[in-house]
Amino acid sequence: MPISPLPDPAAFRNTGWALAGRIQATTLDRLRNVCDRLLHTPPEAGRSLSLGDNRRFLAHAHLHDEDLRTVVLGPELKAVATHFLGAAPYLFNEQFVVKGPKTGAPFAWHQDSGYVGFEHKPYLSVWIALDDTTLENGPIYLLPRDLDRETHVEPHVWDEAAKERVGYTGAEPGQPALMSAGGIVVFSSLTLHRSSANTSDAPRRAYLAQYSTEPILDPTTGRPKSFATPL
């Protein structure tokens, strides 16, 4: 279980997001070590959302890294996902997100469901800070959303220059999720969120694991969109 008590799932449904305690120190060390190993590989040319060293998405490493498998499929994150989903979770997707120092690119307002491409049940994103998250190094900002009333996916438009989908262009700044390393913020795949640029002198590392209450299957193939691994 996370070190801190988890907030009420009903309150989470009223706002669409919540700070959700901290992972164990040993888990944080394990995630950092895996992330740093992956950063020693060259950025993938042509990866859809990455912008070189400015913004790197290091996805699906649990397929070949046992240390990461023990975290993303283990009891700590299972407890978090089960608490907020109210059901036994399936791993849907996972990736490290790293913003380089000084030039680390922002990421536009979007819903995670805006990247799926077909109708599906909303899922849960579990975002873990691997470094202290400050206003200077690119925190996540979230717009509150009543998950029982606002159940739709907003229209998203692809921005080719920024390599991202944009689901909101309004003036609301959102609420920053500031936390020390090891902190967890959870949000629904329907919750609009963004992140600002990293203007600090150090990289900003984070780990994102996403869990669903059922397999999310592509209707054109009948196969999982990413993963459908029961925990």
The pLDDT of residue 86: 93
More confident: 53 or 83:
83
* Other beta carbons less than 10 A from residue 145's beta carbon: 21
Q: Tell me, yes or no, whether 205 lies in a domain.
A: yes
The parent domain of residue 192 ranges over 9-230
Tell me, yes or no, whether 3 lies in a domain. no
Mapping DSSP to helix (H, G, I), strand (E, B) and coil, where does residue 94 land?
strand
Measure Cα distances from 166 to 54, 91, 155, 174, 208 in Å: 19, 25, 8, 15, 19
- What is the total count of domains within the chain? 1
In a domain, 1, yes or no: no
Nearest to 53 by CA among 61, 62, 45, 65: 45
Judge whether 221 lies within some domain: yes
pLDDT in tens, 129-143: 999 999 999 999 999
CATH no. for residue 108?
2.60.120.620
Average pLDDT across the chain, whole number: 93
pLDDT at residue 41 above 70?
Answer: yes
pLDDT tens across 46-58, in order? 445 555 666 888 9
Q: Is residue 61 part of a domain?
A: yes
Average pLDDT over residues 154-161: 93
In a domain, 201, yes or no: yes
Would 133 be classed as within a structural domain?
Answer: yes
